[in-house]
Structure 1
């Protein structure tokens, strides 16, 4: 019964919804216009005949209407046919009204003639309307043809010029199919068909520098060739305006990003942003000192901080300098967050021990996710963990991480093994790395794992030629030259989605870093519970005051000196002196029995080991008898290192970014190589020097030049 009722009501609803709708604000069409004119004429004729109105008035009104419409049509530039139709309609209608007022409008003759006039008016109006539409469309088409002809002329000239140039430089005859001008006005793209016979786009790509020189392009502008829509086509990007020389600050739009939508790292020569897609890829950033690599790291960290599904872990063994600007705005002098603000990075490791904890946690997280999210992977029918704000991707940014992988130091090799394990096992589980390197050399990029997994690659040149082998960073790419990117912050970037080409990153300032930390604080995800459980206490206590004390050392530049005078504890115990082991225990709360036991122990040590006098330092009087440890130190050493260390540090600082090898320092100060190595290593541990491990070419560099 319900179905029957519904089927009966449906046609009525359709009829109601599709019936004629009167729009009283709309203008008249051919039918309604003719109907209005004839009914108006009939009404005037009937009224005039009944009231005895003079017939000449109707004719005068018709002439006035025809004249007014003629003037109006001329002003709007209507076609002559349209003007004539409207004028004739007024005159014919006025003539019929005058005749009908004289002879009577209620006769069959008058009514039939009026109907005929109405049909004629409607037909003429429709014809005039169609003619006007066709005329207008033709005018628009003519204007478009004129514009297209002008553009086509320019493009034909560009196409002909570059066909001749490529024939002259490369010996290839192309057939240009299209020339697209860039909206930014900084260049154009040529889409051309390669000649038959197996010619590839590489023949043009390797002659990029010659083509640029032949076209007299400005410095910083290039003509690069890339693959077209199929292997028989080529796309040639020609940059005509140098956009790399200007320094652009990081965009102030700190809106949310995602690992899936791409992370902007800079802009191409056509002023378009270039993004990195790191859900399954690692990244490699190469840049020598002074090329803007540190700024590039901050741009990368800014993109990660803006993302709603990324947690950033940073390893920087150079005092954590890469991550400190992203942590300090959120921490007060006690290491607590200020006003609930969260740091821009989720974990920062500035020491070897902290880095080892972080990498161990990353490996544990990757392995535990493989087991904990089996049901989720099955429901999503995928082998890639669905990364989201609830299960964020962990990005490990390791400054100079490529050097760690190439180091021969046993401790660095232990870190390298952990880094490679993360790269190898954690792709599907959402842990990826961003490594930086100081140079594009074989010793740095010799690891197959880096070359295979780091598909998003950046090479900042800054005009530096030494150690910048672009062929190692972008194998297979042709026509890339260091001198094409002579500006700081400029270089080449390539991803699987975008072939290697010129780019430049934005300049990000410290105040912008603070603004980004504040703007994105409530956007950072929280490590999912299974992963946090797997990471354990090492992750949970990463912001403990004891582990972040080194981040706040700058707040206490003048530490309280050690107590001296009568309140200072004696250096030795017993009359003859001896080994002071007070640093190995806490005597603040010792009982008398414990103190007596300690004194007895010290006396026993002195009795057995305190019979060898230690030679004085600097020719002073003999020291009191006690344990002689002089064999364990350099003869001219002090608490701050050997006496020759100051001269060595000055020489290393004068050497600049190139640094000095231990052998050169040994020759300079006149000491053995082993003693020099030990002294320089201790200075590096104190932060007075930086060790740059590069195999046989390893050097020590002053911190001001790193």
Structure 2
């Protein structure tokens, strides 16, 4: 087997390398100067002056390169020793004494042996040249040496500083250097907090380990050192109303050094977490602003918390200022959310073959959006999910919510190529609130201020080595992306007024919504065809869902009242509360029942009930009449129907059965049934859930619209359970009919 060998090359450099070779050359040079000084007569004062000049030069050179004090003293001793010996030997008239040569040899040997102890390994102006030949300025050499020592003392990593750049914001500086010995950025990032503490940085300031975006080496590292806490200052939002391209980087805030936080939303799937009042919703609103302020993108909202995220964006449309909303589709309930996500998933899959020709035409692996002068590419579609803990949690038991989460996960996996992405948010970042797949598929992550650092560690990874001491209240947090790693940031403040108000009814978001509604694109024809009537009628359902609260208030105001007095809600008529208790069985196996009031103080004694049950009649006390009133067993069903006990059905169940009878159908969409009852889908679900009635797991079509809904069979089952006494109707359900 052939063995490879490396040919050794002769070093022809005039400057010897190594302490031994350098000392030997120094010995020969000084001895030669001494011999020349004796052959050529000149005053001994000349070498003495030259020695002083060399001492001053050594001091200046050591200061320029940032040499340590022991190194400076070592160099001065070498210069003084050599200069003193040379001056002495030149002044001798009888020639070069052998004892002097011996002393010179001993001095040179001592200098050679002790040289490694005083060798300066720091990064300095000339000795600190990196692979690219970088040279530090004299003023930053001491700072560079300080950080080299600090990195070695804290992390045991040998680093050579190449340059130090002071930030334009005057809030800190960035150190660029090379690490040796196989050290990695990941290893150094574990000591960020310790480095900041050792440097004595103020609260809210820290050290961030970063890398060059381009043309960098694996051992090259950048330390961003913050000396002034700029996170306490608001980041102004660019309120310029102008449609841009979705391909362009979008600014969401600023880092500590004042540089912008830029993300490319074309292929970004994001996750934002943060506790209440941490600025999480503001970040989501800002991302919505950037996404829909584009001529080649559309935004979609899913907020099961009443649609609060969408309210400011829909307000101009609801008040008739614009003909269409800025948000193409906003879902505020579970059924609408399932319809929206199902449609987006179908669109993402369809685009893979529908727009295949655009990929071939533009030689790209991702579907182009808005390409060409005619805008032949379809718009990008971005879904924003707010308050998604009840949807993103991995342990969801509700089949509807679990189905919604699974579709969102699939949309994250398959939607990037088709420009259909998901930006989700949640109050917490734990294993039981965010499914692992949701987190792993999120290429952009923002963790706003939280009290427990473990949540940030779960979001960014335990190797991130982040600390909440670097943050400053609402709007601050950590952000992670493949472009810039994990860094502290301050989100842009979207809500302060940036323009002169042209309509006092709308804030900055409302003004942007008006502009977007008048300039945004329409969804492409293939996507609209996939949605069918379900997509075509979305605006009608959105208007009904987001204006229902005002309609309820209007119905309350219909009651006549004196001018200046506040309207009071219509109180439901009083319902007598009656409890049926079983007594001893009568002959023939029929139980005797006694109706007693709710107040325990008015209950008859068990002995009296037993005595009454011994007769052939039932003694029933009705709180609306005198205690002596008696009823026969045949009269109990009618009484139960009046009082709501026994076989009486709650009004919501009766009205739903009537709606099914009028529709002559065994299934009915949730939106249709809620409209018949004049309530929202959320209220309908809350009323029916205690009765064991839930929406069907799969959507079904009625009149060309595919939505989720209820089955008549479930209502009939609930009716039988109530009449047989197997199901007790809660008071809030039984009393709804008077609302």
* In structure 2, distance between residues paired with 1:559 and 1:173: 73
- Determine the structure 2 residue equivalent to 1:186: 171
| Matched residue, 1:359 | 341
* Equivalent position of 1:272 in the other structure: 259
Contact 1:614-1:626 at 8 Å conserved across structures: no
For residues 611-630 of structure 1, the aligned pairs below 5 Å read 618=598, 620-621=623-624, 625=638, 628=641, 630=645
- Check the 8 A contact 2:231/2:256 in 1, yes or no: yes
In the alignment, the residues of structure 2 paired with residue 211 and residue 315 of structure 1 have an alpha-carbon distance, to the nearest angstrom, of 43
Contact 1:359/1:418, CA 8 A, preserved across alignment: yes
State how 1:220-299 maps to structure 2 within 5 Å: 220-227=204-211, 229-299=216-286
Equivalent residue for 1:515, pick from 508, 511, 518: 511
CA distance in 2, matches of 1:223, 1:560: 59
TM alignment of 1:564-603, pairs within 5 A? none
Q: Who is 1:589 aligned against?
A: none
* Contact 2:226–2:256, Cα closer than 8 Å, also in 1: yes
Deviation at residue 524 of structure 1 after TM alignment:
1.2
Aligned equivalents of 1:242, 1:454: Cα separation in 2: 29
Specify the alignment match of 2:141 in structure 1: 156
Deviations 1:15-44 (A, max 9, x none): xxxxxxxxxxxxxxxxxxxxxxxxxxxxxx
Deviation track 1:677-705 (CA, whole Å, cap 9, x = no partner) reads: 9969989x99xxxxxxxxxxxxxxxxxxx
Which of 423, 428, 431 pairs up with 1:442?
Answer: 431
2:548 equivalent to 1:553: yes
Query: Paired residue for 2:419, among 418, 430, 452?
Result: 430
1:542 to 538, 541, 545: 538
Structure 2 residue 529 is the aligned partner of structure 1 residue 533: yes
Q: Which residue of 1 aligns with 2:369?
A: 387
Structure 1: how far apart are the matches of 2:479 and 2:312? 25
* C-alpha distance after superposition, 1:225-280 (max 9, x if no partner): 22452122211111112111123342223333333212222111111111222322
Distance, in Å, in 2 between the alignment partners of 1:356 and 1:313 is 13
Note the aligned Cα RMSD (angstroms).
3.8
Structure 1 outlier segments of 4+, above 4 Å: 561-564, 612-619, 626-629, 631-635, 675-683
Tell me the distance in 2 between the aligned counterparts of 1:479 and 1:533: 49
User: Paired residue for 1:499?
Assistant: 485
Alignment partner, residue 17 of structure 2: none
Q: Does the 8 Å contact 1:361/1:536 carry over to 2?
A: no
Q: How many Å apart are 1:282 and its aligned residue?
A: 0.8
1:169 Cα deviation after fit: 2.3
C-alpha separation in 1, matches of 2:228 and 2:442:
31
Q: CA separation in 2, counterparts of 1:293 and 1:165?
A: 36
Q: Call closer, same or farther: CA 1:339–1:325 in 2, change over 3 Å.
A: closer
For the 8 Å contact 2:389–2:428, the answer to whether it is kept is no
Give the Cα separation in 1 of the matches to 2:224 and 2:533: 53
Task: Check whether the contact 2:231–2:489 (CA below 8 A) recurs between aligned residues.
Answer: yes
Matching residue of 1:10: none
Does residue 327 of structure 1 match 2:330? no
Q: Does 1:456 align with 2:444?
A: yes
The reply to whether residue 216 of structure 1 matches residue 200 of structure 2 is yes
Alignment of 1:395-434 (within 5 A): 395-406=382-393, 407-434=396-423
Distance 1:348 1:681, change over 3 A: farther
Q: Using a 3 Å threshold, how does the CA distance of structure 1 residues 682 and 496 change in structure 2: closer, same or farther? A: farther
The residue that corresponds to 1:347 in the other structure is 329
Listed one character per residue, the Cα deviations across residues 617-654 of structure 1 (whole Å, up to 9, x for unaligned) are 7563378816656358999x9x99xxxx9xxxxxxxxx
Do 1:613 and 1:626's aligned partners in 2 also have CA atoms closer than 8 Å?
no
Q: Is the 8 A contact 1:402 1:437 kept in 2?
A: yes
> Using a 3 Å threshold, how does the CA distance of structure 1 residues 157 and 278 change in structure 2: closer, same or farther?
same
Q: Structure 1 residues 533-542 or 508-517, which shifts more?
A: 508-517
| Offset, 1:182 | 1.8
Distance in 1, Cα, partners of 2:486 & 2:184: 18
Change (3 A) 1:210 1:682: farther
For normalisation by structure 1, the TM-score amounts to: 0.58
Contact 2:356/2:367 (<8 A) preserved: no
Q: Which is helix-richer, 1 or 2?
A: 1
Deviation per CA, 1:414-470: give whole Å up to 9, x if none: 21122123223222111110111111111123422x133211111011x5227x422
> 1:633 and 1:232 mapped to 2: Cα distance?
78
2:191 paired residue number: 207
Q: Is the partner of 2:492 in helix, strand or coil? A: coil
Instruction: Give, in whole Å, the separation in 1 of the partners of 2:732 and 2:461.
Output: 37
Counterpart pick for 2:471 among 485, 506, 510: 485
When the two structures are superposed, what TM-score results if normalisation uses the length of structure 2? 0.55
Match of 1:169 in 2: 154
Q: Is the 1:305–1:516 Cα contact (8 Å) retained in structure 2?
A: no
SS in 1 for 2:335: helix
Distance 1:445 1:374 in 2: 34
Q: Secondary structure at the match of 1:180?
A: strand
Taking the aligned partners of 1:369 and 1:632, their CA distance within structure 2 comes to: 55
Partner of 2:22: none
Q: Quick one: distance in 1 between partners of 2:392 and 2:283? A: 21
Cα deviation, residue 191, structure 1: 0.9
Q: Secondary structure of 1:314's partner?
A: strand
Q: Secondary structure at the match of 1:244?
A: helix
Task: Map Cα deviations across residues 291-318 of structure 1 (whole Å, 9 max, x no partner).
Answer: 1111111111111121222111100010
Which structure 2 residue ranges, 5 or more long, are not aligned?
1-134, 496-505, 560-572, 574-591, 599-621, 626-635, 655-678, 680-685, 687-725
3-state DSSP of counterpart to 1:379:
helix
Number of residue equivalences: 446
Q: Against the structure 1 CA distance between its residues 415 and 202, is the aligned structure 2 distance closer, same or farther, given a 3 Å change threshold?
A: closer
